[in-house]
A = this chain, B = another copy of it.
């Protein structure tokens, strides 16, 4: 590939001059500017961003760590994030941590070595907590770590909404399936909100945690299966993601449990499909677009050194989307 030097020689000027027209800095006569432009054209010159990054100490790269981009929620989130980032000239380095401590650490090291300007973490395990003392802008999603800014949706409120909805729909025997509560994610507050709220109604839900491998469908199915077998009396179920809700549907279909007549179901996230399938999934909608925009804005501010006055917690509202996996008003018993 042509370098700035090649362009300079072809145009009969020095590299400084070429650099000037490249960056629109300082005075250049139209004549030389045109000569340089022409040389660039002819050589199909493309400035080497690696060299620029080295010089400027600014890579315009952001590290994005998610548990897995294959999960629809993180896919949408990453999409929005990348859209905002690229609109501002930032590129995204994609990392799938699989919620694995060692991998997370390796990715963080990798991102530091590659001198990304900032890191957006949608994933962190227990161990990574004390590990993040990189004097580098970070923002987390749904994970509070010390003095690191965090954007999340109102998980507690999401749990409350689900609880109130099931209670209002007449459920008496309620269960809840959530991710591993040991992972210390704000998502756990969904469970807290749900349980706290139900207790106000004098109800005590059965709570089941999924294993450490948070994205193993087979394990999920097994957990759902034994819950419904051991507790056939359950008539209301709140799960912590739409994906799990679908697995509940599968198990129910196999067991002949009708939704919502015998079991009312509420998911979390509101991924696009939830609106399309039959019965439509009642779920708690997270404001993905706002969350990703906010996360980007924060990291950009941090990079620009304007992070001082930013609050650490950014909690965005959620809302319950009522569809057909919970009973319709007319059918209320």
A46-B113, A47-B113, A277-B246 known; A79+B70 contact, CB < 8 A: yes
Report chain B residues within 8 Å CB of A110.
91
Report chain B residues within 8 Å CB of A68.
79
Report chain B residues within 8 Å CB of A94.
64, 78, 82, 91-94
A64-B94, A276-B247 known; A114+B49 contact, CB < 8 A: yes
**Quick one: which of A46, A50, A78 has the most chain B CB within 10 A?**
A50
Which of B91, B243, B252, B278 contacts A250, CB < 8 Å?
B278
| Chain A contacts with B in 80-102, Cβ cutoff 8 A | 80, 82-83, 86, 91-96
Whether the Cβ atoms of B69 and A59 lie closer than 8 Å is no
Tell me the complex Cα distance, A74–B249, Å.
Answer: 25
A196: Cβ under 8 A from any B Cβ: no
Tell me the complex Cα distance, A51–B50, Å.
Answer: 8
A112: Cβ under 8 A from any B Cβ: yes
- Least CB distance from A59 to B in Å reads 6
**Interface residue SS majority, chain A:** helix
Tell me the complex Cα distance, A86–B47, Å.
Answer: 27
Whether the Cβ atoms of A92 and B93 lie closer than 8 Å is yes
A253: Cβ under 8 A from any B Cβ: yes
Whether the Cβ atoms of B46 and A272 lie closer than 8 Å is no
Whether the Cβ atoms of B72 and A78 lie closer than 8 Å is no
Tell me the complex Cα distance, A250–B324, Å.
Answer: 12
Report chain B residues within 8 Å CB of A83.
96
List 16 contacting pairs A-B, 8 Å CB cutoff, sorted by A: A46-B109, A46-B112, A47-B113, A49-B115, A50-B59, A61-B93, A69-B69, A69-B75, A69-B79, A71-B75, A86-B95, A91-B93, A91-B114, A93-B93, A247-B276, A249-B278
Chain A positions near chain B (C-beta within 8 angstroms) = 1, 46-51, 53-54, 59, 61, 64, 68-72, 74-76, 78-80, 82-83, 86, 91-96, 109-110, 112-115, 135, 217, 243, 246-247, 249-250, 252-253, 272-273, 275-278, 280
A-B pairs with the 4 shortest C-beta distances? A75-B75, A70-B79, A246-B276, A250-B276
